[in-house]
Amino acid sequence: MDKSFQYVDSKRIEDKNINELIGICKGVLSDNKINEDEKKFLLDWIKKHNLANHTLVKDLYLALNDKDKNLDDLKNTLITFTGGVTPSNEIKSMSTSLPIEKDLSTIEFKNKIFCLTGKFGSAIGNRKVIEDIIVDKGGICKDTVTHDLNYLVIGEFASDDWIHSTSGRKIEKAMNYRANSSNLKIISEEQLLKYL
């Protein structure tokens, strides 16, 4: 079998497994709580499907494995991983907030490179309007995640184009760059709006 075909096939299976994990996590959250049996099931499922070190799953796996993490904190991690509850039937899914910078003190614009992903629900406007404001403040907007990217901005709502219901390839790629000592910051639409 051709190695490139094997890679594509294994990537497709991995994507399917991540989508299934998101669905399982949403099912676990359906009663708004998590118990020890569900925690153990999720840990075993992630191990069985070889996702413990996957960029999108690693933080969830570490939280599930953390003996000091109480079940309420774990529930919040699951909510973050799945994007939480959608505000209306018109929106299929919220974006994941698991990779978002927790301690963001400022956003620099001058000569910094930004990439936006997801759907933006801001009162300011859509993605194009927000990109124009970034450019007016001296920033540079690109369509793809690259090594020189400074900020990936995740819109509040998931995109229909994303490979997973709560995240896409741009988020996955940015998380990989950030894990490998990149200065890239992954921020939310809400965080960006505070500095516009």
Angle of helix 3-29 versus helix 36-48 axis, rounded to 10: 170
Range 36-40 average pLDDT: 94
Q: Determine the Cα–Cα distance for residues 145 and 173; give it in Å rounded to an integer.
A: 7
Range 125-144 average pLDDT: 94
Domain ranges of the chain: 3-82, 113-195
Instruction: Show Cβ contacts of residue 52 under 8 Å, excluding neighbours closer than 6 positions.
Output: 46, 58, 61
Give yes or no for residue 63 having a pLDDT over 80: yes
Range 38-64 average pLDDT: 95
Entry pTM: 0.71
Residue 12 pLDDT: 86
CATH fold label, 113-195: Rossmann fold (3.40.50)
